[in-house]
Structure 1
Amino acid sequence: MIKCAVLDDYQQVALSMADWSAVTDRVVVNVFHTHFDNEDLLAAAIEDCEIVVIMRERTPFRRTLFQRLPRLKLLITTGMRNASIDLPAATEHGVVVCGTRGGGEGTTELTWALILGLARKLVQENEALRTGGHWQSTIGVDLKGKRLGLLGLGHIGSNVAQIGQAFGMEVAAWSHNLTADKAAAAGVYLATSKEELLESSDIVSIHLVLGDRTRGLLSARELGLMKPTAYLINTSRAPIVDRDALIASLRGGRIAGAGLDVYETEPLPADDPLRSLPNVLATPHIGYVTEAAYRSFFRGIVEDIDAFLNGSPVNVIG
């Protein structure tokens, strides 16, 4: 029997979110519910596996890890893009990398949960209510008539734009490749520059793919252009924003707050300041963690394993 490891099944649902019967006559599945933050321990735990399944970018697969897994033949990631996998190293070690389709609209919905939570000070008000603190201690921010600035107008950005328009917001967008025609088709104002978008927006939400042009896109200079009353939302990828500059801006009150779902180190260290800053609403990278997305992901995982074992891999990445 072929051995398969499923990593980082935090919610312990990997085997219940899909029907694995198509492969269980050929594969023994071992599910790990806790995160390996040490490569030595990880390599020891999965060294005899020919198939490994990873959930998004929770566990990076770098060259050093591939070198320690000579039996590995198939690596499956949820989604069709995973920046934490060293694809050239996988090829060099004869490992086929496959992804899965689907994912639902969870990130769009979480983006709005963060926006609304910040605008209506839900964390502060809920904490006060639970602990017997002041009754009505904050004043909420009205969204109608405000400008929502989107960095990126792809699938998620476009969906976020539609909801903003439903709230009566003026929506603007900018990215390196965004055209006037695409912005117009979405009913969105095309900002002339990144700087204009940042200077004029009351809420800035990031919906870009991480790459050479977007890594560090928002540094201290860019964050300094934002209004002191503005909020920054990042449900995309943490390295798009300079972490130190963001923390300094939040501590100094140079922006009103941030809604964050992504971090450069995950899980976020216990002593990380983003856990305790009062003007941060933070969630543990749950944008994609919804029932619809998980069912789609795990169904795709089983299909990938079955196709690979039948000699015809599908959803191959790279």
Structure 2
Amino acid sequence: MGSARHTLSFLLQSAVAGLAVAFVAVLLFPDLLPEGHPLRGGQSAPASYASAVAATAPAVVTLVGRPAVPAGFAERQAPGSLGSGVVMNGEGFVITNHHVIAGTEDLEVVLVDGRRAPARLVGTDPDTDVALLRIELPDLPSIRVGRSDQLEVGDVVLAIGNPFSIGQTVTQGIVSGTGRGQLGLSQFENFIQTDAAINVGNSGGALVNARGELVGINTAFFSRRLDSEGIGFAIPINLVRGVMEDLLEYGRVIRGWLGVGTQTLTPDQARALGLAEPYGIILTTVQPGSPADRAGLRPNDVITHVNDQPVVVWQDALRSIAAMRPGTRVTLSGSRRGQGFRVEAEVAERPSRL
């Protein structure tokens, strides 16, 4: 019996000693663990993003042009740097921001290798601040396009552009937020927020992930002064691709439209109206002859659901309707003077200028 206890004690001591040795080995040599093991910690983080930059930077270009001269005026300014752009493919299509090229003429694209070419405007979409240009040059660089819907807060991103006309510059940061709206920058807002420095001249440039894939088009930075404060915004590449496809196929972006003005319902307003749900949007205006008017909607109606999906803020409803093709039937439900209602409307094409 005593011999058995002695043997068991010896085995336990050996096991504890073995675990201690293994623990120390893991601390000193974490690479011994399999890839992805949580105890490897930051060992999987790259020491450099040079490969991601090399794969993407050649496709990021500088746009040069001059303000358009009104009819009757002879004086013209010298061409200057307007901002940045991204060569999307070998066919010469270049994406930039609408605000970069609006009101300009004699547009040129300047590549990192020094080549330059006149740029033709294919189409523009002020509602998302996206413009599509085309150039003709041989052996154009292109960029690998990623998926902005797979971005997560904390992902490493690189902003590439030509800030302050000093030459191509790369800044590094993380995704600080997604789905940012209500900023007043464009009609349809769904921005990626990043702390990668975005400055004057970066607009239209590339936001890429650590794998060297284009995930956004840099658009704006938040600042109380004319410098970056670590709050920049980029248009998700999934949205940009949809705009580009419509511009190429139709020459414009086709969006659904009901013809209403809206504002978000506050919880206090919801309680005052006796609504069961503390959310929704109020119709402030209904355009005569619009799809909403034909469906019987009226100012001060409260819409709580679009196709039985809750509507929390007016931007949600705007994006939902805009994503529908003209001719689509949509069901709207809500409250009018305390009484519930449900109507069906046929979506029309959103007018190009509202």
Name the TM tier (shorter chain).
under 0.3
Report the TM-score, using the length of structure 1 for normalisation: 0.26
State which structure, 1 or 2, has the greater radius of gyration over its C-alpha atoms. 2
Report the TM-score, using the length of structure 2 for normalisation: 0.25
Going by fraction, where is strand more abundant, 1 or 2?
2
Going by fraction, where is helix more abundant, 1 or 2?
1
